[in-house]
Amino acid sequence: MSIVKINVLTVPSEQREELERRFSSRAGAVESSDGFEWFELLRPVEGTDRYLVYTRWRDEAAFQAWMSGPMKAAHQGSGGSGGGRPGGGAGRAPAASDSTVWTFEVVQQAAPKPGAED
């Protein structure tokens, strides 16, 4: 069964554009990873300063392989820290002020039926 990792990033309002720019500049970095299934960066609309970084993986082993390989290398090379918090260059502070990772197992899912209207 697939697992979902949600990285909860606390992002001050003055850092929102920077966080989104850093994620945008890394577009494509995870898509070719073995066991990767889905990614979404969710911007808060109201009532919170927390972004959600949603990734879905075949299993925990696939996620851990990405964290210890491509993810670790990307953050060491950019001056950032782990856990999905993009760094963005030597000497630059993380755009997020806090990070927490939640883990879930997918126990049910649904998709639109073929021919369903938008």
Question: What tens digit of pLDDT does each residue of 36-71 get?
Answer: 999 999 999 999 999 999 999 999 999 999 999 867
Q: Distance (Å, rounded) from C-alpha 13 to C-alpha 34?
A: 34
Please give the average per-residue pLDDT across 74-94, as a whole number: 52
Instruction: Parse the chain into domains and list their residue ranges.
Output: 3-105
Listed residue (103, 115, 105, 10) closest to 52, CA to CA: 10
Contacts of 87 (CB under 8 A, 6+ apart): 22, 75, 78, 79, 80, 81, 94
Q: How far apart are CA 88 and CA 93, in angstroms?
A: 8
- What integer is the mean pLDDT of 14-27? 91
Fold of the domain spanning 3-105: Alpha-Beta Plaits (3.30.70)
